[in-house]
Amino acid sequence: MRRTVDFVVKENIPLTSNVYEMTLAGDTRFVTAAGQFVNVALDGLYLRRPISVCDVTDGVLTLIYKVVGKGTDAMSQKKSGDTLNILTGLGNGYDLSLAGDSPLLLGGGVGVPPLYLLAKKLAEQGKKVTVVLGFNTADEVFYEKEFSSLGADVRVTTMDGSYGTKGFVTDAVDGKFSHYYACGPLPMLKAVSKLDMSGSLSLEERMGCGFGACMGCSIMTKNGVKRVCKEGPVFDAAEVIW
């Protein structure tokens, strides 16, 4: 169920030079699954901005976003006490029943945040969680300690080798896993989809409405046309057409 809710900014802090963590107070009951997203309304901008949910507790919503344009720049200017109108409860989220005993979580850049809530929920179920976080350089790394605090085996990769394993997230995958969950840029997801195990991919597309009415984020899958905001953003890796 989706619902428009006014949230009050509690904190809005930089994690890196252009990635921010925003915590907000409000009615969080419509966010029901890890991997869902929200649509944030910003003054002077016609379309809401879709942001994945990093974490949610009773009455507190955590969003992590990268400043890439007018919308996210406006978000970065918000201060404690400011109000944001947010459309919540969007998207299908990850299916935890697929995890098995030893799930693998793969995140690239701003694809990392939704995996945090997923890792937390899987850890609560007693799963042996392995997380691989991929970035371009050491300066871009965030949330490594937060994932470790959940008891996950955390591995970090950087493209330039300045921190962790040099290369892609797939370069840090060794061992046997029951299922993978991934979120990140399309080239990363395409590479991840070749792993020899079942998987779930969270896709990104330009969104107009965020709840399936405008059809602007439609993609062709092996099971026909689907809307990333409505039937997704999480899809079975086997149905995605590259």
Closest by Cα among 208, 170, 7 to 90: 208
| CA terminus-to-terminus distance, the chain | 31
Residue 230 lies in a domain: no
Q: Identify the domain containing residue 71 by its residue range.
A: 3-90
Specify the pTM: 0.96
Residue 168 lies in a domain: yes
Q: Which pLDDT does position 229 carry in this prediction? A: 92
- CATH number for the domain including 19? 2.40.30.10
Q: Which pLDDT does position 1 carry in this prediction? A: 73
Residue 194 lies in a domain: yes
Per-residue buried b or exposed e for 132-150, using 16+ beta carbons within 10 Å of the residue's own CB = bbbbeeeebbbbbebbeeb
Closest by Cα among 198, 47, 187, 200 to 115: 200
Joined tokens for residue 174: 């060794």
Q: Which pLDDT does position 66 carry in this prediction? A: 97
Q: Which pLDDT does position 178 carry in this prediction? A: 98
Domain shared by 164 and 132, yes or no = yes
Q: Which pLDDT does position 137 carry in this prediction? A: 98
Q: pLDDT truncated to tens, each residue of the chain (242 aa)? A: 788 999 999 999 999 999 999 999 999 999 999 999 999 999 999 999 999 999 999 899 999 999 999 999 999 999 999 999 999 999 999 999 999 999 999 999 999 999 999 999 999 999 999 999 999 999 999 999 999 999 999 999 999 999 999 999 999 999 999 999 999 999 999 999 999 999 999 998 888 888 888 888 999 999 999 999 999 999 999 999 99
Domain shared by 77 and 113, yes or no = no
Joined tokens for residue 178: 């029951």
Query: Cα 23 to chain center, whole Å?
Result: 15
